[in-house]
Structure 1
């Protein structure tokens, strides 16, 4: 982050719609407790695209930053004073930091968070990869793969429009992208790294097609968990909580100015919360 956070700021929150399911408050509060930031608070607010400008306008100097989820990651862009190269590369901001200079700085921690989650499992270099889906998360997945995948990325998509979008993102991010119809998605499960970016239920039918010995599956969902695909996977599996923790670590460090943030404590809090939801 190019600017220091305000020394008087102690408030942060996650915004989106819907937002009641978000694990971000659990993760950030766990980090604050571990870092001894007793005066800090982290809340959640239901905010849609029409309300984001008014919400930002109503904030005072106590605010350090915001986490953003859908549908705000692109809607916030014209409201910011500065955007990082990482966020600009995918036209998506999931982190806003209010600097000590009174400016709103936008960043994307999903991309380095995904790279960090893979690195934690010893995955920093693969020859090829599969992306399942072509929605908003797929562009961030491609950006992350640009840092770990040497060869071609095959994206399995449901329409020609989505195929064009993925080719466009590939060209923009410097990733060689091949698109294939979703009906053949089972073929993609043989790649050394498979990243599933689809909504809940979309890959359930692929669970019966997993190879006998798989590479690495990164399924960005965390609730419900495990997905049928993740449960059937014979190799290394990463889930949405892995991504959520690592991107939140970077958010905490940017918003508080304290480093390193405590990923183990944040993960434990997230796991406990997810277990409580299944009771």
Structure 2
């Protein structure tokens, strides 16, 4: 799929989608790789509109990036789902093969692992997750690859607590759940992964220990979050949402274009510039 002279298309789908940085990252990669005939756009598509959108795609399409609320909705509409994507029932990448098949994958999980590895985090003895939901399940899947011990998830409500324990059983991770009211306890963990919406962890910033370890905050806009800013000020290591977006996009570019390695540095510079301009 990497023919330089072929006009190929890719895009990110979701709703809402106007905020997405994916076009910035993918276009930067195309420029660096010399893929002048490749384009990458964004389309506001919800679950109801997804089947018709997929049905209308022509042979020029190489792949799609998917964000909320489409990561689960797309599964019945594609031909094959990778083991990684199936493990969390979430597809964020669809690659179209030359014979017309649609292959679903999840680059969020290996993207998280790669973002941590870039900061020197290869393995941890334990970890904490703030929040529940789709991103938290991907975080659990990533921790299944690097965490040798217990993961404590701080959530609101019994239903979400039960769901996180079920994900842990499915992914082979030892998960203990605690009430969100006690989330300040999470801050002493060797690795804290925050999967919450903007503002949800602001109150925790005042409870940081003197020497925090590593925070992985999946948000990138607004950035830094109050927790991430305080964490950095206390000398802790911080991995941000742009790191995650970047590393999962690198994998998407490689799978859609067939070209490897994707230009990580050029993509990072483009993403940082776009965020600074907002």
TM-score class normalised by the smaller sequence:
over 0.9
* Preserved contact between residue 6 and residue 99 of structure 1 (Cα < 8 Å): no
User: In the aligned structure 1, how far is the partner of 2:194 from the partner of 2:31?
Assistant: 33
SS where residue 264 of structure 1 aligns?
helix
Equivalence for 1:180: 178
Equivalence for 1:161: 159
User: In the aligned structure 2, how far is the partner of 1:48 from the partner of 1:159?
Assistant: 28
User: In the aligned structure 1, how far is the partner of 2:120 from the partner of 2:205?
Assistant: 25
Deviations 1:28-56 (A, max 9, x none): 00000000000000000000000010000
TM-score between both structures, scaled by the size of structure 1: 0.97
2:97 corresponds to which of 99, 113, 134: 99
Deviations 1:180-204 (A, max 9, x none): 0000000010000000000001001
Equivalence for 1:110: 108
Structure 1 spans left out of the alignment, 5+ residues: none
User: In the aligned structure 1, how far is the partner of 2:255 from the partner of 2:2?
Assistant: 11
Deviation of the 1:136 alpha carbon: 1.1
User: In the aligned structure 1, how far is the partner of 2:139 from the partner of 2:270?
Assistant: 25
- For the aligned residues, what is the CA RMSD? 0.8
SS where residue 221 of structure 1 aligns?
coil
> Alpha carbons of 1:173 and 1:9: their partners in 2 closer, same or farther (altered >3 Å)?
farther
Equivalence for 2:263: 262
> Pairwise mapping of residues 127-276 of structure 1 onto structure 2 (< 5 A)?
127-233=125-231, 234=234, 235-276=236-277
User: In the aligned structure 2, how far is the partner of 1:124 from the partner of 1:173?
Assistant: 19
Deviations 1:86-142 (A, max 9, x none): 000000000000011210000000000000000001101100000000021000000
User: In the aligned structure 2, how far is the partner of 1:122 from the partner of 1:98?
Assistant: 34
Deviation of the 1:6 alpha carbon: 7.6
Deviation of the 1:9 alpha carbon: 5.7
1:29 corresponds to which of 27, 30, 34: 27
User: In the aligned structure 1, how far is the partner of 2:157 from the partner of 2:275?
Assistant: 34
Equivalence for 1:47: 45
Structure 2 spans left out of the alignment, 5+ residues: none
SS where residue 72 of structure 1 aligns?
coil
SS where residue 41 of structure 1 aligns?
strand
* Preserved contact between residue 85 and residue 91 of structure 2 (Cα < 8 Å): yes
After TM superposition, which residue ranges in structure 1, 4 or more long, deviate above 3 angstroms? Answer: 5-9
User: In the aligned structure 2, how far is the partner of 1:173 from the partner of 1:273?
Assistant: 35
* Preserved contact between residue 128 and residue 192 of structure 1 (Cα < 8 Å): yes
TM-score between both structures, scaled by the size of structure 2: 0.97
